[in-house]
A = this chain, B = another copy of it.
Amino acid sequence: MESLKQRILKDGVIIDGNILKVDSFLNHQIDPRLAFDIGKEFYNRFKNARVDKILTVETSGIAFAVCTGYNFNVPVVFAKKYNGLNMSPEVYRSKIRSYTKQTDYIISVSKEYLSSNENILIIDDFLANGQAVLGLIDIANQAKCNITGVGIVIEKGFQQGGQILRNLGIRLESLAVIESFNNNKIIFRED
């Protein structure tokens, strides 16, 4: 998505040579017109597939999931994160490893909001090692849903998440794939 890549080049900040900060327009501060364009782009990429519901995880995936759901006119469900021990039988749960924080956390979705055979499009802002998306896939599988695909705003192509998902046979559409950081310059993977 060319306009997204241009925005990343313009407003993204590289920290310590290998961390991309997009806080000024994607998370923490959000440009809502860009979020809407992102939703429309996911719609265009997946519109010929079956999409009954959008699934994301709080917090920073929500804006893009809602804008995507708006275009498909389907409900958006966001998994909740917590560290606690809520063992309610009413929810699907999955444990996720956070490599950046070196901790585990749990995500959960109420069983009411995922039904068997629903076609689920998973949306998230970032894909790095893929743990959050794998947790969402785990939950969708517990609910016996079909995974239509995964839409990611920014994929870190030098981490393993994208390869893991493709190896699982899952259709992955990433709007911008960062191949590497070269002398504080962002190199995108060619489409």
A28 touches B62 (CB 8 A): no
Minimum C-beta distance from A138 to chain B (A): 18
A112 touches B24 (CB 8 A): yes
A32 touches B77 (CB 8 A): no
Alpha-carbon distance between A109 and B24 when the two chains are bound, in angstroms: 12
A63: chain B residues within 8 A (beta carbon): 62-63, 66, 76
Question: At the interface, is chain A mostly helix, strand, loop or mixed?
Answer: mixed
**Segment 64-86 of A: residues with Cβ below 8 Å from B:** 66-67, 69-70, 73-78, 80
Interface size class of A (residues with CB under 8 A): 20 to 34
A77 touches B112 (CB 8 A): no
Say if the beta carbon of A104 comes within 8 Å of chain B: no
Alpha-carbon distance between A47 and B28 when the two chains are bound, in angstroms: 24
Alpha-carbon distance between A124 and B64 when the two chains are bound, in angstroms: 18
Of listed A32, A78, A109, A112, residue having the most chain B CB within 10 A: A32
Minimum C-beta distance from A79 to chain B (A): 9
Say if the beta carbon of A18 comes within 8 Å of chain B: no
A77: chain B residues within 8 A (beta carbon): 28-30
Alpha-carbon distance between A80 and B78 when the two chains are bound, in angstroms: 17
Say if the beta carbon of A158 comes within 8 Å of chain B: no
Say if the beta carbon of A44 comes within 8 Å of chain B: no
Please report A residues at the B interface, Cβ cutoff 8 Å.
Answer: 23-25, 28-33, 35-36, 58-59, 62-63, 66-67, 69-70, 73-78, 80, 109-110, 112-113
